Chains A and B, each alone.
Chain A
Amino acid sequence: MNIRERLGKELLFLDGGMGTLLQAEGLAPGELPETWNIEHPEKVEAIHRRYYEAGSDVVLANTFGANVCKFHDDRYTVEEVIRAGIANAKRAGEQIGKETYVALDMGPTGKLLKPMGDLDFDDAYEAFAEAVRYGEKYGADLIHIETMSDTYEVKAAILAAKENSSLPVFVTMIFDERGKLLTGGDVPSVVAMLEGLRVDALGLNCGLGPKQMLPILEDLRRYTSLPVIVKPNAGLPKQKNGETYYDVEPDEFARIMQEVVKGGACVIGGCCGTTPEHIKKLVEECKDLPLCGIEKKHDTIVSSYGQAVILDDMPRIIGERINPTGKKKFKEALKNEDMDYILKEAITQQDKGAHILDVNVGLPDIDEVAMMEKVVKELQSVTSLPLQIDTVDGKAMERAMRIYNGKPMINSVNGKQVSMDEVFPLIRKYGGVVVGLTIDEEGIPKDAEGRVRVAGKIINEAAKYGIDKKDIVIDVLTMTISSEKDGAKVTLEALKRVREEFGVRTVLGVSNISFGLPRRPIVNSYFYAMAMQNGLTAGIINPSSEDMMKAYRSYNALMGFDENCTNYISTYAGTTETVTVQASQTGTATGSASKTADGKMTLKYAIERGLKEEAHHITRELIGTREPLDIIQEELIPALNVVGDGFEKGTVFLPQLLMSADAAKIAFAVIKDVLASSGQEEEKKEKIILATVKGDIHDIGKNIVKVLLENYGFDVIDLGKDVPPEAIVEKAVEENVTLVGLSALMTTTVVSMEETIKLLREKKPDCKVMVGGAVLNQDYADMIGADFYGKDAMQSVHYAQKFFGMAE
């Protein structure tokens, strides 16, 4: 019988530890256990047989590390160890006298995925896909993905399993005692993602003993509608004389595992430190226990790698700012691939209180699929907020859903058949909470009744794909009141009705309501409050708009979602209605030196002291009285020079240099805005490429150099970290850049620096190269053929100025 037919209907027993038993047989620390499938097949088979004899229904083949990222052996291939591993387990199951199953065991790659590590998501997928293909080819009955601590890696493994086989997929992850993954994810975020990817069963293994797993099991059962697996260690790891051991004996293990079964697990076994004796006891004590039923859950959950956002009765905020519509600067940023600009929008919205970020990068003349992938990946490196993928391009949507680390929100599907035919299969495959717009072939219904009807149509169609209504949030659409008198009333009524009639959560883009009216935030914020009152779950708003946030915080305080009004008080206590520029606190501490004759602070002073708020404020004042270029020449540049000189003399230190740089940057931004709005052309800037070379992920030095070069008026093209030589050369040729700065931290990556220089010499001979980084010195720089070695960031500035023939 296929194991899927038994899953959840009877208690199934897995095996116990493998590594510990192999070590007892002589496997050395650091040796690859999978090689034993070929070199000591009889020993591996004997361990499997002991588990079957102890009562295991399923054993995991000895293939935990059999993937190309982890298994590096010059004698055997991944295919050979998987084939032998499955054969050993199958032989062990012969003559057991009951139906047995062999799982292809897939553990982690042992590498950290980008952006925190250097393994690409697609490469991780390919490594797992290879193992899956061999697993199915050599007769595994199911795939067990286990001991995972990173949702991104587990997603790659699950997609690999589902796309390359039709076998059942079990997934277990490692949680700590606080119920968190190593990468920070919590139980609801894991459940949301795994259920979205349609695994067959999910649960816990390793990390903890059975007792510590009980509360996490409870949490799992609170959120999941799937069969739950529990595979604990024989207690918490303990250390003695530098050796790890586990000390929960078989009797005690089995006794606590009874609680685990009563707590709702229906597939159980053991992990590190558990033996055939543990499993034997476990089977004896648990086999007659009744199973708890599996309840269907109705929470609407979106997740990122680090957190879940549960859309419940308390309203949540979807930040609308990552969207080029009507934003000139954002469009520019997209065209120039200026990721920093986009990432800062994300950080600002998070700091202002957004819970989810909408991501829309659609522009007529860009490759939206590539841009969407790039932006989503970059966003995942700076924010743990879940993302809402906002696009009308099905390909961009699919790509984003694939590489997204979590269960995304999807904006959007609508009641048109063609839209539903395109979007629902993606939701079915990757998981996601999808926004359903109440519009269909006949347009937007004029009345609430019509919009409710379209909502129903969307929900019914989704059901055909097995998509539950908890994964649909309805957008009844905001109409502009200046052109439609009853627009707001219809929207509010429809909102209320879809909440009541279908029990689904809702979304609205709020600010459309005031289009064409003066002082739009007034109308927006009132409408926002009314919408929440009528059942709006998540408004898509600008969290930097104080009017909207006032409405949001007040609503929560009024409706009892802000206990003791804590949030409201912490935000508004001690504030007054008028916004005043507050002096930065760190600045006042040093304010003893004289500022000017009349005691008023000068811009030069503010920048020298690194006072950002003041620099901003004073620049705005100066703009009215002095020419922008004068401000730059007479205030900004002299201040930067004073600080730069001090740095080189050793009287000013790196943090101070950078505080000044940040303050200057703000002053420059104010001036730039004024120049732009008055239609004046900015001075043409010299271009410099900066990159941290391939293989190197330490980019702080490069970032310091970037800030300073920008301050001195250079146009820095920042290619980021771990940049292949080809990409640097290609950019230099494409943009005709004649100065490239490279950074590398270690001897192992200076090699790529040398390669990059060689390739530049070949393809762009007029390009000079300056280098810097911890292991470099003048000799080393000469050896790899660099034109200049910068001991510190200021030296790079001087070199660049000299190179472009600028006065210092």
Chain B
Amino acid sequence: MTDARTKEAIRYLGYGRHAVDEQTLALIDVSFGELDQTTQAKSVYRIFDCKVTGEDQVTIGKMNIKSRSLGKNLRGCKEAVVFGATLGTGVDMLMKRYSLTDMAKSVVLQACAAAYLEEYCDDLQLSIEEELKAQNKWLRPRFSPGYGDFDIHHQDDILRMLDTAKKIGLTMTDSYMLTPTKSVTALIGISDTQEKCHIKGCEVCEKKDCIYRRN
């Protein structure tokens, strides 16, 4: 029995359609066990007004974004969820430790942490959606700075709008990298109509030859 997060971790490790070997599978198992001990997952979100003008002008609260791909993602949404999530600094330290003593473990741990974070975000997204359903509202796939032509520099605006440093300990470096490293920020459009869609943004990504792509 391979659970969803294990499948996801295997995908991140680049196995594609190949069967995973027993040794790696065992490492994945141990890694998730250690992550369950170490992670301190935290999240924060707020809902802002959202307006899409023309092809590529998006306004979320007071943040103005020029992005065609985000415009497409949010078309027709009057509101959007802005959210941030992190697994905490403990995971970074664990990966650093293993990079000194067991590189294979470090790489597997990294993939497992990414899968862990995705699953955490999915769960969060589902619970937000559950709350919104009562008002006949649905969520679009989440969209993060750096996807498509959504400029990574908006990371700063998002962190400030959510006050993530204080609320969940999520910050960024001068080069706009999130710290702790296993963290995510994203926008999720709120739509009045239910569309047949996936929670994640993978399929909408234009990098079709990406080896990490599902399917």
The digit string for A656-675, where 1 denotes a CB below 8 A from any CB of B, is: 10110110000000000000
Contact of B180 with A696 in the complex, beta carbons under 8 Å: no
Whether B179 and A381, one on each chain, are in contact in the complex, defined by CB atoms closer than 8 angstroms, is no
Q: In the bound complex, do residue B166 and residue A586 qualify as a contact, i.e. CB atoms below 8 Å apart?
A: no
Residue numbers in A under 8 Å from B173 (CB-CB): 111, 117-118, 695, 697
A182 touches B13 (CB 8 A): no
For the complex, is B208 an interface residue (Cβ under 8 Å from A)? no
- Tell me, yes or no, whether B101 is within 8 Å of chain A by CB: yes
Answer yes or no: A681 CB below 8 A from chain B CBs. no
- Asked if A746 and B177 make an inter-chain contact with CB atoms under 8 angstroms apart, the answer reads yes
A344 touches B152 (CB 8 A): no
Whether the Cβ atoms of B23 and A653 lie closer than 8 Å is no
* Known pairs A30-B61, A586-B27; A112 contacts B179 (CB<8 A): yes
Q: How far is the CB of B7 from chain A (nearest CB, A)?
A: 15
Bound-state Cα–Cα, A206 to B167, Å: 10
Docked complex: A97-126 residues within 8 A CB-CB of B: 107-108, 110-112, 115-118
Report B167 CB to chain A, min CB distance, Å: 8
Decide yes or no whether B104 CB sits under 8 A from chain A.
yes
B59 interfacial contact with A, CB 8 Å: no
Given contacts A655-B24, A655-B104, A696-B177, contact A182 B97 (CB under 8 A): no
Q: What's the tally of chain B residues with a CB closer than 8 Å to chain A?
A: 65
Given contacts A116-B179, A610-B104, contact A654 B171 (CB under 8 A): no
The verdict on A662 contacting B104 (CB below 8 Å), with A118-B173, A243-B46, A696-B175 known, is yes
Alpha-carbon gap, A324 to B89, bound state (A): 31
Known contacts A108-B165, A347-B100; is-contact A117 B179 (Cβ 8 Å):
yes
* A29→B61 contact, CB < 8 A: yes
**B1 within 8 Å of A by Cβ?**
no
Give A750 to B44 CA distance when docked, in angstroms. Answer: 30
Q: Is B72 an interface residue (CB 8 A)?
A: no
Q: Is the CB of A700 within 8 A of B63?
A: no
Question: Quick one: which of B47, B48, B63, B168 has the most chain A CB within 10 A?
Answer: B47
CB neighbors of A among B2-27 (8 A)? 13-16, 18, 20-24, 26-27
Q: In the bound complex, what is the Cα–Cα distance between A745 and B110 (angstroms)?
A: 14
Bound CA–CA A587/B27 (angstroms) = 12
Residues in chain A near residue B20, CB distance under 8 A: 653
- Chain B residues contacting A112 (CB-CB under 8 Å) are 89, 169, 171, 179-180
Give the CA-CA distance A807 to B58 in the complex, in Å: 56
Q: Is the interface of A mostly helix, strand, loop or mixed?
A: loop
Would you call B202 an interface residue if the criterion is a C-beta within 8 Å of the partner chain's C-beta atoms?
no
Q: Is residue B90 within 8 Å, beta carbon to beta carbon, of the partner chain? A: yes
Beyond A243-B47, A589-B23, A655-B104, whether A749 also contacts B169 by CB under 8 A is no
On chain A, the residues within 8 Å of B181 by CB distance are 697-698
Instruction: Determine if A746 and B179 form an interchain contact, defined as CB atoms under 8 angstroms apart.
Output: no
**Residue A524 interfacial (CB < 8 Å):** no
Q: Mark B94-117, 1 if CB is under 8 A from A, else 0.
A: 011101111110111010000000
Say whether A571 faces chain B, with CB atoms less than 8 Å apart: no
* 8 Å CB contact of A697 from B13, B93, B179: B179
Distance (whole angstroms) from the CB of B123 to the closest CB of chain A: 15
Q: Assess whether B177 is in contact with A590, with CB atoms less than 8 Å apart.
A: no
* A241 on the B face (CB < 8 A): yes
Q: Which of A174, A650, A700 contacts B99 (CB 8 A)?
A: A700
A28 B171 Cβ-Cβ under 8 A? no
Would you call A29 and B177 a contact (CB within 8 A)? no
What CA separation (Å) do A182 and B41 show in the bound complex? 10
Closest B residue, CB atoms, query A708: B103
Alpha-carbon separation in the docked complex, A590 to B21 (Å): 8
Q: Is A242 an interface residue (CB 8 A)?
A: yes
Q: Scoring B residues 43 to 71 as 1 if CB is less than 8 Å from chain A, else 0, what string do you get?
A: 00111100000000000011100000000
Q: Within 8 Å of chain A (Cβ to Cβ): is B88?
A: yes
Cα A180 to Cα B16 in complex, Å, equals 40
Instruction: For A655, give its contact among B81, B99, B108, B180 (CB under 8 Å).
Output: B108
Is B174's beta carbon under 8 Å from chain A?
Answer: yes
Over the window 1-40 of chain A, the binary record of Cβ atoms lying under 8 Å from chain B Cβ atoms (1 yes, 0 no) is: 0000000000000000000000000001111000000000
Residue with the highest number of chain A CB atoms closer than 10 Å, among B152, B160, B163, B166? B166
Q: Given the complex, which residues of A lie within 8 Å of B21, measured CB to CB?
A: 590, 653, 656
Q: Are B47 and A30 in contact (CB under 8 A)?
A: no
Query: For the complex, what is the distance from the CA of A661 to the CA of B61, rounded to whole Å?
Result: 51
Q: Is B146 within 8 A of A590, CB to CB? A: no
Which of B14, B48, B90, B97 sits near A653, CB closer than 8 Å? Answer: B14
* Contact between A29 and B161, CB atoms less than 8 A apart: yes
CB of B136 within 8 Å of the partner chain: no
User: Given A654-B13, A700-B95, are A748 and B177 also a contact pair (CB < 8 Å)?
Assistant: yes
**Is A759 an interface residue, CB under 8 A from the partner?**
no
A147 and B169 CA atoms in complex are apart in Å by: 11
Residue from A340, A381, A703 in contact with B106 in the complex, judged by beta carbons closer than 8 Å: A703
Beta-carbon contact of A30 and B157 below 8 Å: yes
Judge if A636 is at the interface, Cβ distance under 8 Å. Answer: no
Chain A residues near B146: list those with CB within 8 A: 746
Rounded to whole angstroms, the CA-CA distance of A584 and B92 in the bound complex is 27
Instruction: Tell me if B171 and A589 are in contact (CB < 8 A).
Output: no
Partner of A658, one of B97, B107, B160: B107
- Chain A's closest residue to B159 (CB) is A110
CB distance from A415 to the nearest CB of B (A): 40
Asked whether any CB of chain B lies closer than 8 Å to the CB of A294, the reply is no
Shortest Cβ gap from A590 to chain B (Å): 6
Q: Is B40 located at the chain interface by the 8 A CB criterion?
A: yes
A-B contact pairs, 28 of them (CB 8 A): A30-B161, A110-B159, A110-B171, A111-B171, A116-B93, A116-B180, A117-B171, A174-B166, A182-B40, A206-B166, A239-B45, A242-B46, A244-B46, A344-B101, A347-B101, A382-B93, A651-B18, A653-B15, A655-B23, A655-B24, A655-B104, A655-B108, A658-B107, A697-B173, A697-B179, A703-B103, A746-B146, A748-B153
Given A242-B46, A343-B100, 5 more contacts at CB 8 Å?
A242-B48, A384-B93, A589-B22, A610-B23, A695-B177
Give chain B's interface residues, CB within 8 Å of chain A: 13-16, 18, 20-24, 26-27, 40, 42, 45-48, 61-63, 81, 88-90, 92-93, 95-97, 99-104, 106-108, 110, 128, 131, 146, 152-153, 157, 159-163, 165-166, 168-169, 171-177, 179-181
